[in-house]
Structure 1
Amino acid sequence: MSYTTQEYLKKILTAKVYDVARETELAFAHTLSTRLNNRIYLKREDNQTVFSFKIRGAYNKMANLHPDALARGVLTASAGNHAQGVAYSAAKLGCHAVIVMPITTPQVKIDAVKTHGGCSVEVVLAGDSYSDAYDHAMRLQTQKGFTFIPPFDDPDVIAGQGTVGMEILRQHPGALHAIFVPIGGGGLAAGVAAYVKSVRPEIRVIGVQSLDSNAMAQSIEKGDRVQLSDVGLFADGTAVKYVGAETFQLCRTFLDEVVLVNTDQLCAAIKDVFQDTRSVLEPSGALSVAGAKIYAENRKLKGKTLVAVTSGANMNFDRLRFVAERAEVGEAREGVFAVTIPEARGSFKRFCELLGNRNVTEFNYRIRDSSNAHIFVGVQIHNRDEATLIAENFEHHGFSTFDLSNDELSKQHIRHMVGGRSALAKDEVLYRFTFPERPSALMKFLSAMNPNWNISLFHYRNQGADYGQILIGIQVPADEMSAFRNFLATLGYHYKDETDNPAYRLFLA
C-alpha cells in the first residue's frame, strides 16, 4: 500500500467531497428486514447528484490536482458512473475532460455524462469492457498529455469513496454486524474497509461481486492480482477484468470475505429495493443487497444489523423487462419445469389438478406429437427445496419432469421459443382470454369445457397484474362451433377471437 492505515484514515477524514456530494440517507428497509429476520439498512448512494457514489472519489482526486494539471485537462476511462462523476466535477472545477467509455455502456449513462459535463466534456467510445476502454485512454494520454483520473486505483479516489464508510458509522453508532460493499475495481470497498477497520474493527466488511466478474475474489484467493479473460456485462458498472494494485492490497488486508451472486439474485435484489423504496437500482447498485441476503441465509442470521451500500441507480430502462422476469427465480419464488404428459384428453386437466392451489407463473405448450405433450411451466414456490418436491410429485404421478429452475438456456431463451406450426392442430381456433389472476381460474375454464375439444396450444405468463392474458388454441370441429360459442358466452371471461390474426397464420397455424 502506498499509505499506512493511519494516513488513509486522515485522507478520508479530510477528503474534499462535500462541494459536490451529500451525506446520503441510511434508510431502514422494512419489508426486506421483516423477510430476512434481520435489521437491514440501505446506504442510499443511488441518491447522489449523479445517482452513484462515484462523484466522491472523482471530485476528491480532481480537487487535489495542481492548478496547472487542471488547466491542461483531465482524462478517464469508465463504464459510466465514474464518467458522470468526472464530468460533473469538470463542470464544477471549470476544466476540460475527455471520457473514454466502453461501447457496451447503456445509453442512459452516455447521455448523463454529456448532460453533467456540458461543453466541458468530450465522450469517446472504445472497447467492450472497462479494461479495453482504459487501454484506449492510456494511448490518448500519451498523445494529449492530460491528467488521468483513475476510477478506483488511486489513494485520493479511494479516500473519497471511503467517506461512505465514515458516514455509515456516524449515522449508526450502535451495534453493526456487517457492511456489504459492491466491488468492481475495488475503490469503494477499499475505502470503506480501510476506514471501518480503523475505527470499528469488530464490524465485518464484506465485498460482493458478480459470479461472472469476480476478479477481486479470485485475486484475494490466489494472493496476487488475477486478470480475467472476459467479464459478464449485466452488472456493467462492475465489469472489471483486472482490479487495481492499491485496491487489491487494501481489500486483501481489510475485507473479511467476498460473497458472489448470480444474475437472478441481482434481479431479485433490485425488486427488493424497489418494494422498500420505490427506487430502481442498476444491477451493480444492487450487488450489496443481493450479497447481504445470501450471507444472512447461509449464516442463518437472526436479529443482526446489516448495512448494504446501494451504489448506483443509472438503470437502462430497456433492462427492466428482463429484471422483472428473472427476479422471481432469483428469489427462489419460481420453479421452472419441463413436463411430459400423455397426449390424451383429460391429461392436461389432471396435470393442472396436481398443481393444486399454487400460482402458475408461466405455461407454454404446443401440440407436436400424437403420443406425448411437452409442457414448459413456471410455478410460484416459497423456497428452493419446494421445486424439488414439485418435480418429484409430477414424477410420482407418471409425468416425466426436468427441473429447469437453474438452467440458463431455458430461462433466457427456450421459454420464449415453445410453439410453432403443427400438422396435428386440425380444426384449431385461437382465442385470447383475460383471466382473473387467481389459482382457480384455469380449473374453472377446463371444467366447463367440452371434453371433446382438445387444447392444442397454450401460452400464459404472469405479469403481476390482477388479470392475466392467456392465449389458447382449441381443436373444435366445425359442426360443434355453435356449442363452442355458447361455452364462451357462459364462461364469464373476456375473450377475443384471433383465428384470423395474420401473425398466427404466418407462424403458428
Structure 2
Amino acid sequence: MTDYIRKILSSSVYEVAEQTPLEKMELLSARLGHTILVKREDLQPVFSFKIRGAHNRMAHLSREERSRGVICASAGNHAQGVALSATRLGIRAVIVMPTTTPAIKVNAVRRLGGEVVLFGDSFDAARAHADELAERHGHVFVHPFDDPDVIAGQGTIGLELMRQHPRPIGAIYVPVGGGGLAAGIASFVKFLRPEIRVIGVEPEEAASMKAAIAAGKPVPIDEVGLFADGVAVKQVGDETFRLCRDLLDGIVTVTADEICAAIKDIFDDHRAITEPAGALALAGLRREVEAGTAPEGALIAINSGANVNFDRLSYVAERAEIGERAEALLAVTIPERPGSYRAFIRLIGRRPVTEFNYRYAPGASAHIFVGIKLSRGDPEKREIIDMLEANGLAVTDMTDNEVAKLHVRHMVGGRVAGLVEERVFRFQFPERPGALLKFLEGLNDAWNISLFHYRNHGSDYGRVLVGVEVPERTRTDFFAHIDAIGFPYWDETDNPAYRQFLDLE
C-alpha cells in the first residue's frame, strides 16, 4: 500500500485533469435523512475520471516507448482519456473500438486526436485486435484498469476527497467495472482514514468483482449486461482484484431501474445528465440507505462520468420511476362487462394512473395492464394490491418483470387463436445499423415467427421479444439453432405477462 500512496502523491494527473468538486445533494439528503455528497468526475475535460489513470500511465513512458506510440481498446471513456493525454504529450494514439460504438463516442475520440480503428462487435474482439496491432507495430498497450500507474491515477480522487471533506465520513461508494477506480480510491482512503467504509457498486447484470471475490480469484462471468456500458467488464484484473479483495468493505449490486432512478436524482439536484455507470455508485448508496445498512456520517458517491447518448434518455426516463419505486405496474383481471373500467378506476381513487392498456377478448374476464404512480413506494403498492384483491380482482405485480416493462406494455391485446405450440423468447444483440436484419436472417424459416416486438431504446444493444411455433418433435433442433445464433436469450414462455396478455385463454 505504501507504494501506491507514493504513486498517488507524485501523480502527474493535474497536467490534464481537474480537481472536481464534492457537492451536497440537498434534495436527496432531505428525502433520505442522510448527508449525501457526490464527487463530480463528470466535469473532467473528457467527462469522465478515466483521464486520470490514462495520463498517469502515459506520463511514465520512457522516451523510447513514447516514440512507438500507444494503443488501447475501449468503447468510450478510456479511449477519450488516452486520446487527450496522447495529444498533450505529443504521442501517437491508436484507439480500437467495437463497430457497435455509438458515433458520438467515435467522433469524440477523433476530435481529441486519436486514430480510431473500428473492429469487431464486442470489446473482447476489439481488445484482441488491439493486442495484435500492438505486437505487429510495437505500440505500448495502455490498460484501462489493471496497471499500477492507472490505479494510482484514479487514486487521486481519494486524495481529493480526504482534503475536501475532513469531517466524519461514513462510507464512500465507488462504481466497479474492472476495479481500477475502486482499488485506487480504497488504497489512499484506507491508508489515511481506515475507519471509512469503501463500498464497491456493480450492476446485477455485470457483477464481475463480486464473482471474483466469491471465487477467490478473477473469473469470467457468463453474460455481461451493457446498459451501464462503462462498467461492462467480463473479468476484473489480477491487481485490481488483489486490492479490492483486501481493501473494500463490501460489494453492493443494483438493477438497471435503480441506476435510472439515480440518474434522475442527480438531475433533480444538480441539473446534470449522468451516464448509467456514472450514477451506479449513487444507486448503491440509495439501496443501503433504504435497507437501513448505511453507516452514520456523510455518505459520498462517485459520479464517474457523463458520456451518454441523448437518445438513451427516453429509456432512462421511462424506467426511473420504477427504479425509485414511484410507479407500480399491475396486471389486473376485471369482469368483461360494461361499467367495469369505471368501477376499477373508482377503486384506484385519486392516485394518478400512468398508463392503461386493454383490448377486447371473448370471455367473461378482461385483463388490463395498468401503471399507477406511488408516493410511498412499495408499502403503498402493497396496499393497492390488497385493496383490489379484497374487492374480488385478481392482481399480478409486474413492476419487476422485464418482459412486461420492455415489451408487453406496448403489445397488450395481441391474442391469436390456434397457436398451440408457440414458445416465446427474449433476445439481446449488439445495436448498430443493420443489426436487426442480421438477427432476423439468423432465424431459420423452418419455424414460423408468430410474435415479434422490437423497440430501439437508444442503448448499445437491441432487445427483441419473439414468438415461434415450435412443434415438440423439432424442439431439440430449434434450441440447437438459436444457441448457434450466438446472442444471449431467455425462454419467457411461462412469463405471466405473456400468459395474461398475449397467450390464448
- Alpha carbons of 1:387 and 1:103: their partners in 2 closer, same or farther (altered >3 Å)? farther
Match 2:344 to one of 341, 344, 351: 351
Matched, 1:87 2:93: no
Q: Which amino acid aligns with 1:7?
A: D
- Alpha carbons of 1:137 and 1:422: their partners in 2 closer, same or farther (altered >3 Å)? closer
Shift of 1:281: 0.4
Matched ranges for 1:38-437 at <5 A: 38-117=34-113, 121-299=114-292, 301=294, 304-381=297-374, 382-419=376-413
Q: Which amino acid aligns with 2:178?
A: G
Q: For the residues of structure 2 that align with 1:64 and 1:317, how far apart are their CA atoms? A: 36
Shift of 1:303: 5.8
Tell me the SS of whatever aligns to 2:268: helix
Kept after mapping to 1: 8 A contact 2:285/2:294 = no
Kept after mapping to 1: 8 A contact 2:170/2:295 = no
Q: Which amino acid aligns with 2:388?
A: F
Shift of 1:297: 1.5
Kept after mapping to 1: 8 A contact 2:170/2:296 = no
1:368-413 deviation digits (Å, cap 9, x = unpaired): 2252221100111221232232222212212211110111100011
Shift of 1:130: 3.1
Kept after mapping to 2: 8 A contact 1:368/1:422 = no
Residue of structure 2 equivalent to 1:469:
none
- Alpha carbons of 1:275 and 1:90: their partners in 2 closer, same or farther (altered >3 Å)? same
Paired residues in the alignment total 416
Shift of 1:95: 1.3
Kept after mapping to 1: 8 A contact 2:68/2:139 = yes
- Alpha carbons of 1:128 and 1:299: their partners in 2 closer, same or farther (altered >3 Å)? farther
Matched, 1:30 2:30: no
Kept after mapping to 2: 8 A contact 1:387/1:403 = no
Shift of 1:199: 0.5
1:281-320 deviation digits (Å, cap 9, x = unpaired): 0000110000100011122558631000000000111111
Q: Which amino acid aligns with 1:203?
A: I
Structure 2: which 5+ runs fail to align? 418-505
Match 2:16 to one of 6, 9, 20: 20
- Alpha carbons of 1:104 and 1:236: their partners in 2 closer, same or farther (altered >3 Å)? farther
Shift of 1:114: 1.1
- Alpha carbons of 1:304 and 1:297: their partners in 2 closer, same or farther (altered >3 Å)? farther
Kept after mapping to 2: 8 A contact 1:367/1:422 = no
- Give TM-score, length-normalised by structure 2: 0.80
Kept after mapping to 2: 8 A contact 1:98/1:124 = yes
Q: Which amino acid aligns with 2:48?
A: S
Kept after mapping to 1: 8 A contact 2:171/2:295 = no
Tell me the SS of whatever aligns to 1:31: helix
Q: Which amino acid aligns with 1:154?
A: D
Shift of 1:419: 4.0
Kept after mapping to 2: 8 A contact 1:129/1:240 = no
Q: Percent identity?
A: 54
Kept after mapping to 2: 8 A contact 1:197/1:203 = yes
1:83-135 deviation digits (Å, cap 9, x = unpaired): 00001011111111111123333322222111112xxx211223444333222
Q: Which amino acid aligns with 1:103?
A: T
Kept after mapping to 2: 8 A contact 1:179/1:205 = yes
Q: Which amino acid aligns with 1:253?
A: D
1:418-450 deviation digits (Å, cap 9, x = unpaired): 245999xxxxxxxxxxxxxxxxxxxxxxxxxxx
Q: For the residues of structure 2 that align with 1:422 and 1:199, how far apart are their CA atoms? A: 66
Shift of 1:337: 0.5
Tell me the SS of whatever aligns to 2:16: coil
1:37-85 deviation digits (Å, cap 9, x = unpaired): 1001000000000000000000111111011211111000112100000
Shift of 1:223: 1.0
Kept after mapping to 1: 8 A contact 2:211/2:221 = no
Q: For the residues of structure 1 that align with 2:405 and 2:40, how far apart are their CA atoms? A: 31
- Alpha carbons of 1:422 and 1:408: their partners in 2 closer, same or farther (altered >3 Å)? closer
Q: For the residues of structure 2 that align with 1:17 and 1:140, how far apart are their CA atoms? A: 27
Residue of structure 1 equivalent to 2:434:
none
Q: For the residues of structure 2 that align with 1:42 and 1:179, how far apart are their CA atoms? A: 10
Q: For the residues of structure 1 that align with 2:15 and 2:409, how far apart are their CA atoms? A: 50
Q: Which has the larger radius of gyration?
A: 1
Structure 1: which 5+ runs fail to align? 424-509
Q: For the residues of structure 2 that align with 1:293 and 1:213, how far apart are their CA atoms? A: 19
1:444-473 deviation digits (Å, cap 9, x = unpaired): xxxxxxxxxxxxxxxxxxxxxxxxxxxxxx
Q: For the residues of structure 1 that align with 2:416 and 2:72, how far apart are their CA atoms? A: 56
Residue of structure 2 equivalent to 1:427:
none
1:193-215 deviation digits (Å, cap 9, x = unpaired): 00000011000000000011111
Tell me the SS of whatever aligns to 1:95: coil
Matched ranges for 1:435-446 at <5 A: none
Q: For the residues of structure 1 that align with 2:68 and 2:194, how far apart are their CA atoms? A: 42
1:209-229 deviation digits (Å, cap 9, x = unpaired): 001111111101221111113
Q: For the residues of structure 1 that align with 2:382 and 2:295, how far apart are their CA atoms? A: 26
Shift of 1:144: 1.2
Q: For the residues of structure 2 that align with 1:82 and 1:319, how far apart are their CA atoms? A: 20
Tell me the SS of whatever aligns to 1:296: helix
1:234-266 deviation digits (Å, cap 9, x = unpaired): 011111001111101010111000100010000
